[in-house]
Amino acid sequence: MTDPILDVRNLSTHFFTDDGEVKAVRGVSFNVARGETVGIVGESGCGKSVTAMSVLGLVQRPGKVVNGEIMFKGRDLLKLTKEELRNIRGRDIAMIFQDPLSSMNPVLRVGYQIEEAMHAHNKIADAQIDARTIDLLKQVRVSDPERRVHDFPHQFSGGMRQRAMIAMGLSNKPDLLIADEPTTALDVTVQAQILELLRDLNEQTGAAIVLITHNLGVVAGLCKRVIVMYAGEIVEEGTVEQIFESPQHPYTWSLLRSVPRIDASRRERLLSIEGLPPDLIELPVGCKFNPRCPFRIERCFVDAPPTEEVAPMQRAACWVTMKTAYAEMGAADIKDTSPGAASGVHPRGRQALPEAEVTATVAESVGD
């Protein structure tokens, strides 16, 4: 990638707790281009939030970044002093979190807090700050911004607070916005509005967005590239089309089939990934997904697979990859985009029910 704005190389962050050393993030490398929208997807404990916190130097004791480089506009963020990092945080890189209520000071007016962000960084001229605050609230689609500027956080609804947080984040015209589960705590209609807002802002301001979430649908709607994390590592990375239509890592593949879809035309059984994620203190050898992987081979227990390119712009860390798995099982087409095709081929090699049989059974059951 030519001149990415963020280039994370081999990042490792460990937590030194009473129970042992939790290796939360291990050898994570990825980059973000200017103006790009990247999604980091994974379940709880996969290390996505810790990665974001590491980029911004927000990892608290007992956590510590133990290895790696984080190149932002040519400088390694891990080598900066606290003061230099503070300058970047909030000005060039902004971050918004899951719970807007606890991110904002309840006794200060919303307008004041947005202005504070601008005062702290001296990027916007003092004389323009007031007008810009109202402008920002307009930009994030808060109605009646002239009046709302004087409100306190508790007078805003959850969705509006998140918009205010986005306004704060964008106030200094950052190059990069990191959003950590920004819509998880919100109702689905509000979530959709916030995501549309982020999409529009990305187009209008050119700020790159890194969206961290466990929700695959959100990523499909907002991001151009997707990074999938599991147990502290990146297991797959690719464009959004590649990840959703031809995932190569069994975890990604399984995850897509374990999520119920609103548009699924048949009520099929969800694929459930049996078992639990591994212990991050005493990690097993080999591939970290191996006890749960439907396609594991002997090698997976012994050697951890390296990340390799499986298609142009797509990388996965797997000895088998879905291409091979499909070939072994005789399925014709990997690009399977129709909703409901999710469970068409089962890891144990059974084929999908023939079309005729399926339609007949569906017709019977619709009778109620």
Partner 1 sequence: MATVATPITQEYAGGTIARAQVGLWRDGFRRLRRNRLALAALIYLTVLLAVAILAIFWTPYNPATILPDTLTYLGPSGAHPLGTDDLGRDLLSRMMQGAQISLIVGVGTSAIVLGVGVVVGLIAGYFRGWIDNVISVFINIFYGIPGILIAIILYLVLGRGLGNIMIAISATAWMDMARLVRGQAFSIREREYIEAARASGARSGKILFGHILPNALGPIIVQATFVIPIAILTEAFLSYLGLGIPSPLASWGSIASEGYQALPLEPYMMLWPAVALSVTLLAFNFLGDGLRDAFDPRQRR
Partner 2 sequence: MTDTIVHIVPTPVPSTEPLLRVVNVVKHFSAAGTGSVKAVDGVTFDVMAGETVGLVGESGCGKSTLGRLISQLIPVTSGEVILDGVDITKLRGEKLRQQRKQLQMIFQDPYASLDPRMTVGDIIAEPLVNFNMISGKAKDARVQELLRTVGLNPYFNNRYPHEFSGGQRQRIGIARALALNPKVIICDEPVSALDVSIQAQIINLLEDLQREFNLTYLFIAHDLSVVRHISNRVMVMYLGRLCEVAPSEDLYESQDHPYTRALLSSIPVPDPRIESKRRLVELSGEIPSPLNPPSGCLFHTRCPIAQVPGVCADVVPPLELKPDGHLASCHFSDQVRTKIKIEEAPA
2 binds, among partner 2, partner 1, none (CB under 5 to 8 A by kind): none
Q: CA 190 from chain center: how many Å? A: 19
Which element (helix H / strand E) includes 326?
helix 321-329
325 binds, among partner 2, partner 1, none (CB under 5 to 8 A by kind): partner 1
The single residue among 2, 60, 81, 272 that binds partner 2, judged by CB under 8 A, is: 272
Distance CA 212, CA 39 (A): 6
Name the residue nearer to partner 1 (CB basis): 298 or 355: 298
Binding footprint of partner 2, residue count (CB under 8 A):
61
6 binds, among partner 2, partner 1, none (CB under 5 to 8 A by kind): none
Distance CA 228, CA 48 (A): 9
267 binds partner 2 (CB under 8 A): yes
215 binds partner 2 (CB under 8 A): yes
| Cα separations in angstroms, 33 against 54, 208, 257 | 19, 7, 30
Cα R_g (the chain), whole angstroms:
23
Q: Is 350 exposed, middle or buried (0-12, 13-18, 19+ CB in 10 A)?
A: exposed
217 binds, among partner 2, partner 1, none (CB under 5 to 8 A by kind): partner 2
Which of 230, 288, 217 shows the shortest CA–CA distance to 44?
230
The single residue among 18, 83, 263, 355 that binds partner 2, judged by CB under 8 A, is: 263
361 binds partner 2 (CB under 8 A): yes
Query: Looking at the DSSP assignment, which residues form a beta bridge with residue 21?
Result: 16
159 binds, among partner 1, partner 2, none (CB under 5 to 8 A by kind): partner 2
Q: Please list, residue by residue across 38-59, b when 16 or more beta carbons sit within 10 angstroms of its beta carbon and e when fewer do.
A: bbbbbeebbbbbbbbbbbbbeb
Name the residue nearer to partner 2 (CB basis): 87 or 258: 258
282 binds partner 2 (CB under 8 A): no
Using CB under 8 A as the criterion, which residues of the chain lie in contact with partner 2 when the complex forms? 43-44, 157, 159-160, 187-189, 191-193, 195-196, 214-221, 240-241, 244, 254-256, 258-264, 266-274, 276, 337, 339, 343-344, 346, 348, 350, 352-353, 358, 361-362, 364-368
